[in-house]
Amino acid sequence: MCGRYVLGPATDNYWVDLRGFLDTLGIRYNVAPTSTVGILRHGSDGREPAAVRWGLIPSWAKDAKIAYSTINARSESVAEKPAFRAAFKRRRCMVFADGYYEWTGPKGDKQPHFIRFADGEPMLFFGLWETWRGPKDEPLDEPLETCTIITTSSNERLAEIHDRMPCLVRCDSDDIDLWLDPEFEDADHLKTLLVPSEEEFATTAVNRYVNKVGNEGEQCLEPAE
């Protein structure tokens, strides 16, 4: 799964034309589920950034509790699973990130690892977004936009840390616009994009400070002692 990641300087430096938007999110070293995250999606004038909540709430959901179980969608079933299939057809997105965390070790003594591209460039996770207007008998005053991050089996190297990884690409990938295009409906072709990345990655065991959701700052990325 992907349950924590970094939205940091690499993303900010790459997306110069989106810096105003990214400034509203801030540099964050411990992005956690149900927090506000930045996505790239298809808009009326092409690509558009948006701030949404992490944890997809389907339009038919009776309450928001489902979001805790929908922070990730498995690539193998995302097109068919009721919570995701409508968004998979028309509301696909990319999620901005510098890299992500995974943990090894026994419960109570988990060691976090930060995983990024070896050259330090930012990445984009494949995702889906959705609009939730609240339960029918008690609609929200303002619709809530949410998202999920799609995962796949890890590549051979990263499998040493965790058996799943986010579906991801570089920020200049030709696959981005195809994924975002709501008019492209070939599900089988879209699934071919959701495969383990064979890019070169750097992995670093980092400070257990990041284990606590509320902790923030560069200290999260300090190498483990």
CA distance 214 to 123: 24
List of long-range contacts for 111-114, beta carbons under 8 Å, 24+ apart: 111/205, 111/208, 111/224, 112/4, 112/205, 112/206, 112/207, 112/208, 112/210, 112/211, 112/224, 113/161, 113/203, 113/204, 113/205, 113/206, 114/6, 114/203, 114/204, 114/206, 114/221
Catalytic status, residue 167: no
> DSSP states of 90-117 as a string?
H-EEEEEESEEEEEESSTTSPEEEEEEE
- Catalytic status, residue 2: yes
DSSP-derived pairing of the beta strands 111-117 and 201-205:
antiparallel
- Of the candidates 76, 80, 102, 167, the residue annotated as catalytic is 102
**Given 2, 93, 147, 167, the catalytic residue:** 2
Which positions are annotated as active-site residues? Answer: 2, 102
